[in-house]
Amino acid sequence: MAGVDLPFACDCGKLRGTLLSVSPTNGTRIECYCHDCRATELYAGQPDPAPGGVQLYQTVPDRVRFDAGEDQLAVFSLSDTGLLRWQVRCCGAILFNTARKPKIAFASFRTDRLADDSPLGPVKARAFVRKANGKRGHEGALKFMAGFIGRALPRFLTGRWKQTPFFTADGRPVRDIHVVPEAERAALYPAAN
Ligand SMILES: [Zn+2]
Ligand SMILES: [Zn+2]
């Protein structure tokens, strides 16, 4: 499906880019209620999303283009093995999550930064959402996994994973990863419940 190209920008407008070929079937719109996504927002000085979820559209790196202000891009992670959280230095906005290795081709975009989010279609999955019984679970997990595998696997097999603005040709992130120190990290999570 062809989809449409959607411009995006960080909150102050210094970094601008385009999500390419956006459609409800070319990506998956999700809400994530996990502690890591919330901690990411808090660490970046963004408003606390809880009790709501973080709004994401999962697409692929070869459909992400930076058009201006790419020098503002920075990356951090909440642990040595956690997802890469791509942020801008200018205003702190979180823009993307990616895997640590480019061969796993996904890029989850924080959709709050779109002027018009209607081309993304409806939310198809909710991750780590709190259920009526108080436990956390997933809604729409099959749709999410089908979309993820359906996009990442052919890219892995064809080498299209190499088309990415997030990694260099030798597979390293284009910025040095800042791993949040344990002492700072603990304050970003709710006490065990
Ligand atoms: Zn999450
Ligand atoms: Zn900015």
- C-alpha dihedral (166, 169, 174, 176), degrees to nearest 10: 130
pLDDT value at residue 33: 95
Ligand showing the shortest atom-to-Cα distance for residue 50: 1
The dihedrals phi and psi of 125, each to the nearest 5 degrees, come to: -150, 145
C-alpha 162: how far from chain center = 18
Residue 16 Cα to ligand 2 midpoint, Å, equals 9
Beta-strand pair 125-130/28-32 = parallel
Q: How far, in Å, are 21, 42, 88, 93 from residue 18 at the CA level? A: 10, 26, 15, 16
Please tell me the predicted confidence (pLDDT) of residue 87.
Answer: 97
CA of 94 to the centre of ligand 1 (A): 13
Residues with CB under 5 A from ligand 2 (ion): 10, 12, 14, 88, 90-91
Kindly give the distance from the C-alpha atom of residue 38 to the centroid of ligand 2, in angstroms, as a whole number.
20
Pick out the chain residues at pLDDT < 50.
Answer: none
CA–centroid distance, 135 to ligand 2, in Å, is 36
Q: How far apart are CA 95 and CA 72, in angstroms?
A: 11
- State residue 165's pLDDT score: 98
pLDDT of residue 40: 97
Residue-level pLDDT at 126: 94
Å from CA of 177 to ligand 1 middle: 19
Centroid of ligand 2 to alpha carbon of 61 (angstroms) = 20
Q: How many residues does the chain have?
A: 193
- How far, in Å, is the centroid of ligand 1 from the Cα of 162? 25
Least distant ligand from the CA of 69: 2
